[in-house]
Amino acid sequence: MASRKTKRKNIIQIISLALAVVIVVVISVLFQQWWNNRPDPEPAEISIAASAPAGELEVFPFSICEPGVECPENEVPTLNVGADEELHLTIPESIYDHDWYLLTIYDDPAANDEAYHGANETTEVTLPGSVDPLEDGGERPRLVVVEISAIMIGHDSNGEETPYTVTWSLSTMEQAAE
């Protein structure tokens, strides 16, 4: 038969173990609540990483518009991509965790293309600096502009959540002097 001292020691161990389990469960639930409810960044703060042999660039939104509101446009950054080079885009989670579109514009409008990407389907995109000619013996259309568009939730001037159409734009060729 177990002594009183042994029984008491066993009860203290069981209570300590139960208390430790309760503490771990409470901390896990609180962390999960915080993680799920943490605020997303505002659309203006989200950037796309672009890289090519000419260098790397952080691309911030070209335009951010509430539905039905005139949209001011920002300057389009340029990252030179040669005809035989590739442009690599890294899409942040705040964009790729929902639907987004990729528009590629070439110096031959017939080569332009738009691609739809569903939520969590694509986190990176690599684009060629030029594509195969559309006509036999024709020149290879050069990549001129890349745009990524998504609908995101941000806050308006009153602090209320509102949807925004956000577009990131990147030029891949230096503009000729006018």
Q: Are 112 and 118 in contact (CB under 8 A)?
A: no
Q: Which two tokens stand for residue 159?
A: 């602090």
Give dist(CA 95, CA 177) in Å, integer. Answer: 34
Q: Which two tokens stand for residue 121?
A: 């389907």
| pLDDT for residue 39 | 67
Q: What does each C-alpha distance from 125 to 39, 60, 62, 81, 121 come to in angstroms?
A: 27, 17, 19, 14, 11
Q: Are 55 and 78 in contact (CB under 8 A)?
A: no
State phi, psi for 163 to the nearest 5 degrees. -80, 150
Please determine, for residue 83, whether its predicted confidence score (pLDDT) is greater than 50. yes
Q: What is the Cα 54 distance to its own chain's centre? A: 22
| pLDDT for residue 2 | 66
The pTM (predicted TM-score) of the whole model is 0.75
Average pLDDT of the residues of the chain = 88
Please, how many CA atoms are within 13 Å of residue 161, restricted to the half-sphere of its CB? 6
Please determine, for residue 178, whether its predicted confidence score (pLDDT) is greater than 50. no
